[in-house]
Amino acid sequence: MTRDPRYDILFEPVKIGPVTARNRFYQVPHCNGMGRVYPSTMAAMRRTKAEGGWAVICTEEVEIHPSGDHSPWCGGRLWDDRDIPYLARMCDGIHEFGSLAGCELNHAGQMCNNDYSRMVQLAPSHMPISSIAPKQARAMDKQDIRELRRWHREAALRARKAGFDIVYVYAGHQLSTISHFLSRQRNHRTDEYGGSLENRARLFREILEDTKDAVGDTCGVAVRFAVDDMIGEPGFTAGGEGRDLIEMMAEIPDLWDVNIATWEHDSATSRFKESGFQEDFIRFVKGVTTKPVVGVGRYTSPDAMVSLVKGGVLDFIGAARPSIADPFLPRKVEEGRIEDIRECIGCNICVSGDHSFTPMRCTQNPTKGEEWRKGWHPERIAPKTADESVLIVGAGPAGLEAARALGQRGYAVTLAEAGSQLGGRVTKERQLPGLAEWGRVADYRTYQISQMANVETFLESHVTTEMVRELAPDHVAVATGSHWRRDGVGRTNMNGISIAGSCGVLTPDDIIGGLKPEGPVIIFDDEHYYMAGVIAEKLVQEGVDVTYVTASTEVSTWTHHTLEQHFVQTRMMKAGIKVRTAQNLSAVRAGEADLACIYTDEISTLRGTVLLATMRLPDDALYYELLEAGVENVKVIGDAHAPGTIAAAVYEGHQYARELGEPPTEAVPFERELVSLSENFPI
């Protein structure tokens, strides 16, 4: 297949100071839970993106000094020359495919705990550090400022030595000391580094000019800046100081990487923001600088990308999450394979890996984080090991991915689904408020298997043991999903909840299935992810009076890991959903429920029908029936194995397909990053 000429503009080279990007696809800096802690994993992940056609691939934040120590966060580090080798390996992998490597240098100041370095935090003014730790940052004096400039310059030189082509001056997301000096909220100085915008931007200008002087002859120097803090006039706004600052320094950097506010705004999920929502904030930038501009917006459509370039909004299509979901997105556009793009669903499961200090994972791309660890490639997979057939029972996320990957390997696959549609839980949940884009998980896989002559799909097929015996496949994968419990068993109530015998309780399955309860509903959330919140939204939209109850001290607490918690709780409260936190559901009777304060055990009673979102049980009956009947080569996967996230189900489906026919692995089934002892170890 050949590239559609409509997309030719996306493959034009663009100069960034002394270097040239081969096309307009630009992987902006993004965290990944790998960094210096899992350097081989990180290097292979970035290398794969270069192979996939991204012209620029950048690091995450890279610390420049121990006074900006992000431990235990798994970011980058360039404190001294000993940190160069692992970053050089990353650069080598990127250069192998003709792409440019970018390094986002940063000193995070009061955003760091410095728990490893134990140094006092630095800030423009005396201020508590950003975490809840009982620590304060001290106001930097003139010598501190000179030292910060020196640290940044030396780090820029080390970055060039490691092989980077682009060096960043980071002033975005309120995550850098530079951005703290820019902030009227954080900078209370009365000297030449405080007060007016020109004064608050002095350090920014100095470090930018220092970096240009140090490496600007061979490296492009980029600036990352949030044009709007999303807090109104106390902060930067796109129509105020955000624009003023870019006009002030328009021609100094070689590239402007522009975005908005803090991370939860910049990387908002599809549940709360649609693709391209940042455009109105950053549209002005191209009008005030001649330098190339990159911006993000969870773009997956090449038509939208072309529109942005031709419309004079962006020179580069920036991406973090779309490059994670499909590292080969540019190659697929170039080769005329638009329909093969694995589109990002905007769920931010990738972010959760960074928050847990482990290599990121992706709902759409099960190979993410496994490029080095397991040798998984997002586009290539080993061919089948034998002319064998596989029956997959259940076409949810695990079953669909197993069928797709096994079909790619060349196996004869039969996919049997009891329902009338492919997709399982994804097809059902995509109908819930804010989750429409999650349907891409099913859409991508359904299309892929529809193109495979060796994969047969059967709907409304209730598979039994007798049917399996009659079909006699060589392998069987049971991917029959799960269902929500009705007895209240979960994290808080491990022995269940007292429920009166004649009292009917609801679960999310009932609402997803179309039931609309009469009268008020009490939703008890003991899962702490998205389900209780979206069910509450759906019911309120249908005119139901809803009270949300949780034993946690906040709504949907795990969504901190996906940058959504604040948005979830805000939307629920604005929608009129009554919120009762720190309350356990202790007893249910017809039309009412008792709540117990988790601190005092004080009981209060609410009127309404109870809906339990506690935990799910695997639908694994067929699996055990097949084992009992002596059917060989049977495996249970996905939610039927252990209910979890959609990402976990997709991963299990992919793992099953990868490992089928392969010899058993060693005790540790993946490569590990091992620490070597220092030669200076004291005796």
Q: How many CB atoms lie within 10 A of CB 490?
A: 22
How far apart, in Å, are the Cα atoms of 342 and each of 123, 182, 439, 447?
42, 38, 12, 11
Residue from 170, 299, 411, 656 carrying the catalytic annotation: 170
Rg (CA), the chain: 27
Catalytic annotation present for 619: no
Residue from 30, 65, 70, 173 carrying the catalytic annotation: 173
- Return the percent helix, strand and coil in the chain, to nearest 5: 35, 20, 45
End-to-end CA distance of the chain: 64
Name residue 365's amino acid: N
**Are residues 326 and 332 in contact, defined by beta-carbon separation less than 8 angstroms?**
yes
Torsion 267-269-270-273 (CA) sign: negative
DSSP 8-state assignment for residue 295: E
Catalytic annotation present for 266: yes
Catalytic annotation present for 103: no
Q: How far apart are CA 115 and CA 445, in angstroms?
A: 44
Strands laid side by side in the 603-607 sheet: 498-499, 583-589, 592-597, 603-607
DSSP 8-state assignment for residue 285: G
- CB proximity list for 232: less than 8 A, separation 6 or greater: none
Q: How many CB atoms lie within 10 A of CB 139?
A: 15
Q: How far apart are CA 670 and CA 372, in angstroms?
A: 9
Residue positions counted in the chain: 683
Residue from 210, 266, 340, 639 carrying the catalytic annotation: 266
Catalytic annotation present for 188: no
Positions marked catalytic:
31, 170, 173, 266
